[in-house]
Amino acid sequence: MQTVVAPQGDVKDRSLAERGRARIAWAAASMPVLAQIRERFEKEKPLRGVRIGACLHVTTETANLMLALQAGGAQTALCASNPLSTQDDVAAALCEFGIPTFAIKGEDHARYYSHIESVIGTRPQMSMDDGCDLVTTIFKEHKDLLADMIGGCEETTTGVIRLRAMQRDGVLPYPVIAVNNALTKHMFDNRYGTGQSTLDGIVRATNVLIAGKNVVVVGYGWCGRGIASRAAGLGGHVIVVEVDPRKAIEAVMDGYRVMPIAQAAKTGDIFVTVTGNYHVIGEEHFRAMKDGAIVCNSGHFNDELDLEAVERLSVRKSEPRAFVEQYELSDGRNVCILAQGRLVNLAAGEGHPAAVMDMSFANQAMCAAHLAKQHRSLEKKVYDVPVEIDEEVARLKLDSMGITIDTLTPEQAKYMESWSEGT
Ligand code: ADE
């Protein structure tokens, strides 16, 4: 086995570690499924000696995932998957747990990529990504690692889209499991996690009252559905913007107004983008907005907003509160951009609550063990999470909530398999 001496990490302030430890323990109390997997990993060591490079949001929940992987015998190194999502106390604590962590909240582009390089410097055999930056950097600049890579896991929709594009172009360098695609991931994390944490991020940044406001949700995937339902629950009047006619009908039948962005731009008080696409709010939309409009993004990349356009249109910029940049346009109107257009839930808030990340990261941990065991039989493809893992995560979560469910009787099971019964 090759030994690689890992560096210590690069964090804001090592003295924050004690606070980080306390908050990691607080999150752990809401992650019973991951705790069970960690116990199992401690006994079985399914990741013994596997070097894992992770590029994830550095939060208390991620810390608990890293500790589970470590308990399973992995040697892990971690960097941030977004320049603004790092919790500096958690990064400091992780270094003390022996997990080299390279992440500083507010790091610039160069530091962000130098941190990815530091993780790559530990010569990972498995990647764990949230947004695919690690896979693409390894593929573009570190082909020497590929011979040793056994596989990877991807956390988010945007990353899965990129991986599928790599597969289509014949350049996916190793098998990757699309953790996002597990039902126990996207139906809960993307919907209830993004729904709650996005509203939380907006409110923490601005202290705005949602009740009575026109809240424009751009994109009605699982994240958009969650944000719309939570905004409506707080009394917001939700407007949905979509390009997919099927999702648009769903939004209408869920009780929301649906209209093109050009029309919504004039009507909205608060805008949230969650499309995974490029410049969905651009110059003509900023020009049309009401005075005081609040604009933010909860999709993976900040390029959902054309931030250069708003810079170009503005005559003055101020920061009345942390994570609020107020742009004064030439006619005196103001438009506020939250968290520099980065994921508002993680930059201005703390990301999804631990209880929902419990299922996402249980999937991650079990998929890592699956890759370690099965990688020889896998091809360079994007794989869905094995259904047995998805179902086990759901069962463990229900158990932890003290909820029992029925099972099919033998006759019912047989009935479901047969085609001969009719009217
Ligand atoms: N993505 C969204 N919320 C998160 C969290 N709390 N931790 C890690 N990744 C996340």
Q: What is the mean pLDDT of residues 106-128?
A: 98
Ligand 1 atom 9: the closest Cα is on which residue?
A: 57
Q: What is the mean pLDDT of residues 99-124?
A: 98
List Cβ neighbours of 160 (8 Å cut-off, separation of 6 or more): 154, 178, 180, 181, 382
Residues with CB under 6 A from ligand 1: 56-57, 59, 61-62, 193, 346, 351-352, 357
Question: Which of 26, 61, 200 is the pocket-test mutation for ligand 1 (most atoms within 8 Å of CB)?
Answer: 61
Please determine, for residue 263, whether its predicted confidence score (pLDDT) is greater than 80.
yes
Distance CA(4)–CA(238), nearest Å, equals 52
Among 98, 101, 47, which Cα is nearest to 69's? 47
Query: From the CA atom positions of the chain, what is the Rg in Å?
Result: 22
From ligand 1's centre to the CA of 229, what distance in Å? Answer: 20
Which numbered atom of ligand 1 lies nearest the CA of 61? 7
Residue type, 95: C
Residue-level pLDDT at 381: 98
From ligand 1's centre to the CA of 412, what distance in Å? Answer: 40
From ligand 1's centre to the CA of 108, what distance in Å? Answer: 20
From ligand 1's centre to the CA of 103, what distance in Å? Answer: 15
Residues 286/311, Cβ–Cβ less than 8 Å: no
Mind listing the pLDDT tens digit for each residue in 362-397? 999 999 999 999 999 999 999 999 999 999 999 999
Mind listing the pLDDT tens digit for each residue in 65-80? 999 999 999 999 999 9
State how beta strands 314-321 and 324-329 pair: antiparallel
Widest pairwise Cα distance in the chain: 73
Residue-level pLDDT at 243: 98
Q: What is the mean pLDDT of residues 243-272?
A: 98
State how beta strands 324-329 and 334-338 pair: antiparallel
400 to 191, 213, 408: CA distances (angstroms): 21, 38, 22
Q: How many residues does the chain have?
A: 423
Among 175, 259, 250, 172, which Cα is nearest to 217's? 259
Residues 122/102, Cβ–Cβ less than 8 Å: no
**Lateral strand order in the sheet of 293-297:** 257-258, 237-241, 214-218, 270-273, 293-297, 334-338, 324-329, 314-321
Which numbered atom of ligand 1 lies nearest the CA of 343? 2
From ligand 1's centre to the CA of 168, what distance in Å? Answer: 28
Residue type, 71: A
Residue-level pLDDT at 3: 45
Q: How confident is the model at residue 6 (pLDDT cuts 50, 70, 90)?
A: low
From ligand 1's centre to the CA of 59, what distance in Å? Answer: 7
Q: Which two tokens stand for residue 243?
A: 């390009």
Mind listing the pLDDT tens digit for each residue in 16-55? 999 999 999 999 999 999 999 999 999 999 999 999 999 9
Residue-level pLDDT at 309: 97
From ligand 1's centre to the CA of 83, what distance in Å? Answer: 14
List Cβ neighbours of 410 (8 Å cut-off, separation of 6 or more): none
Average pLDDT, the chain: 97
Residue-level pLDDT at 298: 98
From ligand 1's centre to the CA of 353, what distance in Å? Answer: 8
From ligand 1's centre to the CA of 356, what distance in Å? Answer: 9
Among 209, 238, 206, which Cα is nearest to 337's? 206
Instruction: Report the range of poorest mean pLDDT among 102-111, 126-135, 210-219, 412-421.
Output: 412-421
Please determine, for residue 162, whether its predicted confidence score (pLDDT) is greater than 80.
yes
Distance CA(379)–CA(245), nearest Å, equals 35
Question: Which of 67, 87, 197 is the pocket-test mutation for ligand 1 (most atoms within 8 Å of CB)?
Answer: 197
Among 88, 290, 325, which Cα is nearest to 206's? 325
Mind listing the pLDDT tens digit for each residue in 185-201? 999 999 999 999 999 99
Distance CA(34)–CA(27), nearest Å, equals 11
Contacts 24+ apart (CB under 8 A), 251-256: 251/220, 254/225, 254/228, 254/229, 256/217, 256/228, 256/232
Residue-level pLDDT at 421: 82
Question: Which of 24, 57, 64 is the pocket-test mutation for ligand 1 (most atoms within 8 Å of CB)?
Answer: 57
Question: Which of 58, 59, 180, 197 is the pocket-test mutation for ligand 1 (most atoms within 8 Å of CB)?
Answer: 59
Phi then psi for 93, rounded to 5 degrees?
-65, -40
Residues 104/10, Cβ–Cβ less than 8 Å: yes
Which numbered atom of ligand 1 lies nearest the CA of 81? 9
In the chain, the domains with their CATH numbers are 9-185+352-400 (3.40.50.1480), 193-347 (3.40.50.720)
